[in-house]
Amino acid sequence: MSDLNDISSLDRVIHEPARLALMSILYAANQADFLYLLRESGLTKGNLSAHLGKLEAVGYIEIEKGYVGKLPQTLCRMTDAGRRAFENYRKQLGDFLEKL
């Protein structure tokens, strides 16, 4: 029962595979642009935008839109809250795996 509690207390926003991949990338980077996230996640543009939107809505990432020359650029950065949530998620996951 306690194991069930452990697993159910994992952050659902982060636990989704695509968002977990995005959070892992942004945890290692200071900033990453849309193109990099698109290539690394293997998502479609629409899916990526939706997942980034969800992470931004809960305050885990910040999105900044700008231009490099004439090309549009979307930069994503993990917030302090996102960093804490991701570290907490990893700790919870690690603890859960140790009990298995």
Binding site for another protein (CB under 8 A): 20-21, 24-25, 27-40, 68, 71-75, 90, 93-94, 96-97, 100
Q: Pairing state of beta strands 71-78 and 61-68?
A: antiparallel
Asked whether 82 and 32 are in contact (CB, 8 A), the reply is no
Kindly state the smallest distance separating residue 79's Cβ from another protein, in Å.
13
Looking up tokens 């968002």 gives 19
Looking up tokens 């969800």 gives 54
Kindly state the smallest distance separating residue 58's Cβ from another protein, in Å.
19
Kindly state the smallest distance separating residue 76's Cβ from another protein, in Å.
10
